[in-house]
Structures are given as C-alpha cells and as structure tokens.
Chains A and B, each alone.
Chain A
C-alpha cells in the first residue's frame, strides 16, 4: 500500500511538472488562434474581443489554475474551432483510433517477438541475416512511402484494387475488416523493423545468460528454451515497451495513418489542434497523455512485481 501511495504521489508531481511545461510552451510559443478567428477587415477592438473570448487576456496563473481544474474535474471545455465539447471529441475519436491502431500494434509486436525469437534461435545463419536485413530496410523506408505504396498496391486500379483507398464507414465487423486492413498492414510494416530489432536484442541478451546454457546442458528442447526461459525472462522489457506505447496509441494516435486513410481519430484532431492553436483540445490531449503515462507507469511497476517478484 505504501509502495502504491508513494508511486501515486510521485506520479502527481510528474503530472504537475509535465502540464506546467507543456502549458508554458502552449501559451508562449504555441499558435495564436486569434487571427484565424477574426473576420476580414477586423478592427483592433474586434481582435481584442476575440482574445477576450479565447481567454488570452487572463493572467498566466489564472489560466494554469483553470487548466488544472479542468483536468481534475475532467470538464475539458469546448474546442475553440468547432465549439464541440472536448469530452465529446475525445469520446468520438479515441474509440476509432483504438480500433484502428490496436490490431496493427498487437500484430506488429507479436510478429516482432516471433521474428526476434527466430532470429536468436538461428543466430549467425542466413535466416538471422535475412530478418536483420528486413528490419533495417523496414526502418529505412519512410512512413509516407509505405502508406502510399500500400494504397497503390492494394487499393487502386494500378494494383490489386481489393480494399477502399480511404474512409471509415464502419457498421459491422465485415466493414471494419475492409477499412482496417490496409492501415493495419501499413502499420505492421512500419513498426515491424523497429520491433524485431528491439526484441532480437532483448532475446539475444537473455539467450546468452548462464541459466539458458544450463537448460541446454540439461537437454531442454529449443522450443522450451525459447518459450519458457528466453521469452518468459524477457517479459520485463516486453511489458515496458508494450505499456509505454499504450498512451501514445490511445491519445496521440497516428497522424499519418489517419490523414492518409481519412480516418476520424484522435491523431488528426490533435494535429489540427496543434497547427490551428485550438488550446482546449491541445491542453486536454497533452494533460491526458501525461496522466495516462503516470498511470501506466504505476501499473507497469505492479506488473514487474507480478512477473518478477525479486523487483522491489
């Protein structure tokens, strides 16, 4: 209990620090939305009116206190651009982003783990070199090129023309699969190189430890060694990678994927808020990401203890 309270207390301090820094950046260096919202031929008075309506004329301390209050009450205000309550925007877009990103994220990681294990098991042989070569290639190609290639190959008359190029008219599992297929394949391709390299390094380190040599000496099969000893003992870094990716998936989404596939998720909303200076949306996303990170950190610590009781 004391451990948990300690973690939560430190987490709160972290949230305060992150929100303060991000708030300073937003207020002093972020885009000023006033000039996007005033009409043509605006007078100085009209500019002042808009600044007042946006709350730009309030003191920094007041604005920051208001921000913290919003975060703790989860009453996040309304978007300056559309007027829609931020809670409603989040409720509308986060499920879409989750549905979009989770399959690619999960499959990308599972495939990365499988390839990492295979690579370690075949260390030094051509299979290992092939996987390493593929990983480096995958990491070297730009996101954008992969997305456009996938669209051309899978969704246009120049290629197989199997799936929609873009859109998100999801009404049932069938339409979901139709719309999520190409983004998921793109995401897997984009992340597989990074995942494979990471997991291979983790597994290679584990495979070189004494207990693995001992298991081999006892005559344990390759599958047992990989599954029971290498994978299981690598769970701490795997959990770390998995868990700390969650807030990014839930809140930040993937701007490129959402933009190019026309998917109304949180990534696109966040990007638009950054470029337009829609502070209520931006503040909510930044604040919630910070809170999510802290919660994940606390949860991760508990999971560490679960998979490795030696961690204190």
Chain B
C-alpha cells in the first residue's frame, strides 16, 4: 500500500503538521523532495497549503454529519473515492489525525492511534520545548517526531 499524505490538526482547526510522501515507483524523485519538506513543515510548500485547509474542511464537515446521524459517540473512520482512501482519527482532546492512502490499504485506525500514542504524545506532547498551542501555525517542528514518523510509515505500513 501507499501513503500519500498525513496531517495533524489541533483543536483550533490549525494544521500543525503535514507531510507528503510520493508513491514508491518514483521514490528517487520523491526522496529529494520529502527531505526538503520537513525543514519548513507545512508552510513552505504552497501548493499543499490550500490542500490542508480543504482536508480539514472535509473531515470537519463529515465528522459533524456523522455525529448528527449516528449520535455523539459515533465517529467516521474512513472514506474512499475512486482514487484514494482517507483515514481519520480524533483524540479525546480534539486533535485530528488524517492520512491519505491508496485504495488497497486496510483500516488505518490502529496505525493512527499508534502514531498518536507512541509518537505524538511521546515526542511532542512530552517535549518541554514544544509549545502546547500553535498560534500562527508554528506547527510541530520536531526532529525526533519527524524521524520516527518516517520510520513508522516506511516500516509498519
């Protein structure tokens, strides 16, 4: 399976982390770019900046719709189009994890949960230097988190 991109949104609807991967066939081309991306996460790549807003708008609307119909404890897990699959995981603190993969991927709910528990909480939340809020879109700029996420996506998935 292929992971296309990954987003984290905080409780203020701010995109605090964004990462795009290119599919493996073009991995050589992709590497050089993904190496460049982390340095100025999110805000440097202009074309994907709007994307993150659209992604947030989508998951936010769908989440509200699902809650209205299924009840407050219902949550949407994923949706698919003819081209990709979007996985969604929301923590009790309203932080939202979104991952776009190809259609063959199984449910990524557990994987997203692990990213939250094992990576985000460990390296970002517990990091005393990391800001708790991200006003103005500072974003998660944390090498340890970056690297382990990269590893997680490459190895586990």
Whether both chains belong to one complex is answered with no
